Amino acid sequence: MRLQGKTAIVTGAGSGFGAGIARIFAREGAAVMVADINEGAATAIAREIGGIAQTVDVANGTSVAAMAGAARDAWGRIDILVNNAGITHLPKPMEEVTEEEFDRVFAVNAKSVYLTAREIVPGMKAAGRGAILNIASTAGLSPRPRLNWYNASKGWMITATKTMAVELAPHGVRVNALCPVAGETPLLASFMGEDTPEMRARFLSTIPLGRFSTPDDMGEAAAFLCSDAASMITGAALEVDGGRCI
């Protein structure tokens, strides 16, 4: 029960890594808000884990403010924030990514971190404690061709994590990032271009441990970094990638 008595918002928690994080947070004793743009998915996971469902568009300031307000109304405080919601563009030459695709990737993967910080950081600073976890990617550390602007958005998130950590440390707020390799999530086909046995085998050959990241892998790492056991860890970008970045 590493998170007993803690309250946590997990964005993009209706599926994939976010759902895995939400499940393990609940198992570890946290009260969890399952926030997702897909209302049905959020409701299903929240019902499964005994959490709160919240529909949110993390790229929209009004929607993020409503999410933070709902959490404060329910709990009176927010102890943990996991910025997990993210999207990608399809693999293609960098100059062929449309302006609309570029704007959407940076709105969801980067602007969302600013919007949630704007709404939630003041309360954490006032309380003198809190943990923020940004779900980045190995793409931000070891970028691959044809995913240029997605790579850049995750590199931005890693830099944002480190600067947030430095600024918020005097206030007792820790900020870390997780960098997973691709996993069994709704984004897998988008990362690979197509989901075929041949493409999976080619991708898996680049991971020394020989498998994808799983939602449970992410949940276990997230629970540690957001727990008091990690009280001396801030500004880290932890690779959960089976050795992919070596």
Q: Which overall architecture, per CATH, does domain 7-185+214-238 show? A: 3-Layer(aba) Sandwich (3.40)
Give the pLDDT band (50/70/90) at residue 185: confident
pTM above threshold 0.85: yes
Would residue 114 show up in a list of annotated catalytic residues for this protein?
Answer: no
Q: Could you report the per-residue pLDDT of 130-149, keeping only the tens digit for each?
A: 999 999 999 999 998 999 99
Taking residues 149-157, what's their average pLDDT? 98
User: Tens of pLDDT along 43-65?
Assistant: 999 999 999 999 999 999 999 99
Q: What are phi and psi of 41, to 5 degrees?
A: -65, -45
Contacts 24+ apart (CB under 8 A), 67-75: 67/9, 67/11, 67/33, 67/35, 67/119, 68/9, 68/116, 68/119, 68/120, 70/33, 71/7, 71/9, 71/33, 72/123, 74/31, 74/33, 75/7, 75/31
Considering 150, 191, 203, 212, which one is annotated as catalytic? 150
